[in-house]
Copies of this chain bind each other. A is one copy, B any other.
Amino acid sequence: MKKSVFYHAGCPVCVSAEHDILELVGRDNVEIVHFGQNKSRIPEAEKAGVKSVPALLTPNGNVLHINFGASMADVKG
């Protein structure tokens, strides 16, 4: 399977989402791109349809924009 690409910008929300995505999809199936560390990848992401981060570009070319919601533990914590 072609890899997915997870685009993020290093915010805490992105890091949480990254952790979950890696666990769900499998680390070997996802390339992680940090825009803060690698601005040269931004045009490619925009071309693919990324409008916000974190976002997951799937192998078939769809973009899932992810908003990480607080868990109940976070709400309570």
Q: Which residues of A contact B (CB under 8 A)?
A: 4, 16-17, 20-21, 23-25, 29, 47-51, 55-56, 58-73, 75
Q: A66 contacts B68, CB within 8 Å?
A: no
Partner of A65, one of B4, B59, B60, B66: B66
A interface, over-half SS? mixed
How many copies are assembled? 2
* A26 to B4 alpha-carbon distance, docked (Å): 14
Instruction: Name the residue on B nearest A56 (C-beta).
Output: B24
Q: B75 contacts A69, CB within 8 Å?
A: no
* A71 to B77 alpha-carbon distance, docked (Å): 38
Instruction: Name the residue on B nearest A63 (C-beta).
Output: B69
